[in-house]
Amino acid sequence: MIDTRIRYQPATVTAPGETLADLLEEQCMTQTELAHRMGRPVKTINEIIKGKAAITPETALQLEKVFTTPAAYWLNHEAHYRAYLARRNEDDDLAAWHNWLDRHPLKELKTLDILPDLYSRGKNKNILLRRLLHFFGVASPTEWENFYGNMKTAYRRNKDQSDPYATAAWLRLGELQAASASCAPFDRQRFDAALHEIRTFTLLPPEDFEPRLKALCAATGVIVALVPAIPRARVSGAARWLNNRPLIQLSLYGKTNDRFWFTFFHEACHILKHSHKLVYLDELDGDPSEPEEQEADRFAANLLIPPEYAAELPTLRSKEAVRTFAGHIGVHPGIVVGRLQHDNEIEKSWMNDLKATFTWRETPVG
C-alpha cells in the first residue's frame, strides 16, 4: 500500500561542525588542542567545523573517545545534514520541472491515494513531484523520461489518442500490483487450456469470478491486475511481460461485461502468441490496423462465441432469443449482445439491459 502521509521535514538542519564548535566552547578546548588529541591536522578540524569536510567513520570514533559522545551520534548527524543539503539542492532542480508535473493525472492519482490531497501550487509542487517520482520508482523527471517516456516506442495499440502521462500512470499501477503478486512459472499450454474454463466465468458476478480468475491465471503463470481506468489513458486493457512474467492488466473502461471479457481474451491472445518485448495497449471501439491486434480480436471473438455458432447471430432479434442462444453456448447474454452490436446486427442502444455493469467495489491500488 502506498503511504501518502506527509512526513515532517525540518526547514533547516544544524551542521555537525556547528555542534562540534559548541562542544569545544563548552569544554574550553581550542581546535588546535582537539586536533592534537585526535591526531588530526588542525586544518581538518577547521574544515569540519566550517562544514567543508564531512565527519567520516574514523573521525566519529575519534570524537567518541575525546568527548564520550557515541560515534553513531556524529555519523547520524552528518547523514541528516548531508541529506538536508541534497534535498535543498534538489528543491532548486525540481522547480524547473513544475510544468512537467502538471502534465500528469494528478487529480486521479489523488483520488486513488497515490498522491497527497494538496493543491498543485507553491511549495506543494515539490512535495507532489517527489511523491510522483516515488510512485513511478524513478530518481528524477529525467529518468522518468528515459524510462517511461521512451517506453512509448514499445507500445502497440489499436488506436493512439491517449495521453502518454495518463497511460504511464495506469501502467505503473499494474506494475505495482504485479510486483506483489505470486504466480507459478508460465505454462503456455496450461494457460491456453484454462481459457476455456475462464469463459464460463462470464456467467458469474464479479465477486465470484475475480478471485477465481486471478487464481487460475496465477496457477498457469499469468498475473491479472485490475486497475481503475484513468480517463485520458483511454485504455481498456494491456498485455506485457515484466521480469519474465506475463501480465494482463484490465480497467473498467466501458464498464460492461461484454467489453471486460472481450478485452481479457484479447490480451490473453497477446500473451500466447505475440512478442514478449512489446506493450500491447488496447482500446475498445478502435480500428485495429496492426495484424497482431486483428488476430487478437478474432481470437477473443471466436473464443467467446465459437465460429460454428456465429451463423445464428443474425437470427437473434429478441431478448428471449439472445438468452436462449447464450444459455446454449454457455456465456452471459451480455456477451452475445455486445457481439451483435459490434457486427451491426442490432443498434448500439438495443438490449443493453441484458449486459451486466461492473463498478469498483474498492480502490485496488498496489
- The residue-averaged pLDDT of 220-232 equals 93
CB 227 within 8 A of CB 250: yes
Q: Which residues of 233-271 are buried (b: 16+ CB within 10 A; e: fewer)?
A: bbbbbbbbbeeebbbbbbbbbbebbbbbbbbbbbbbbbb
Q: How far is CA 365 from the centre of its chain?
A: 8
**pTM of the complete model beyond 0.75:** yes
CA Rg value for the chain: 29
Alpha-carbon distance of 151 to 183, in angstroms, equals 25
Residues of the chain with CATH 1.10.260.40: 16-94
Determine the straight-line distance between the first and last CA of the chain, rounded to whole angstroms.
Answer: 6
Predicted pLDDT at 1: 47
Q: What is the mean pLDDT of residues 240-249?
A: 96
Mean pLDDT of 97-120: 93
Q: How far is CA 293 from CA 125, 202, 246, 289, in A?
A: 40, 22, 17, 7
Q: Which CATH class is domain 16-94?
A: mainly alpha
* Strand 223-226, strand 237-242: pairing: unpaired
Write down the mean pLDDT value for the chain: 90
**What is the per-residue pLDDT for 174?**
96
